[in-house]
Amino acid sequence: MRPMSETVIHGAMVRVFNLGVLLLGRSGIGKTGCVIDLLSLGHCLIADDAVKITTGQDGGLHASPCNDLRPYLHLRGVGVVDVRQIFGTHLLCDGHRVDLVIRLCDEGAECEDELLGDRLSYTLQGQDCPCLNIPASPQKNLAGIIEVAVKNEQVKRSGMHALKDFINAHEKLLNHQ
């Protein structure tokens, strides 16, 4: 039997289309604002600011809130909001497995390695998790981008890979010229 281990990390955890998405990024990059947008779209909050990551006995990673402050979010410029009062308790979840890590990063060098959206990995408690680096800026609809990223992850898990299909179609096109 595998021993359980536990770590608390700075980030946010949401359930989007039944996949657990861990949002990471520097303070002020927009994680909580993105969580608010995802809640507005009907997705579920697991934790904001402090996320407890546990390696379960099955070896999988599980995220949960680490304290009783979970229903409260601090949104810069607005203050502290109570998710229960604004969105309802049905959008609060006790926990979920970590299926995808999304690193919100500043435009530039930190995100350049993902020009075609190829899958990276992020190591949590010695395990590699699928990871995407998404450039964050006020002009972007991060919640919409995250929804598409989650749907794309679901498609990949079903065995289809848009990037491979794109490369094959591109090579076929080049070979016919």
Q: Which residues are catalytic?
A: 10, 31, 49, 119
Report the C-alpha gap between 140 and 127 in whole angstroms.
30
Contacts of 18 (CB under 8 A, 6+ apart): none
Residue 133: which H helix or E strand, with range? strand 127-135
What stretches of 25-82 show up as alpha helix (H) in DSSP?
Answer: 31-40
127: number of Cβ within 10 Å? 14
Closest CA relative to residue 151, chosen from 13, 12, 17: 17
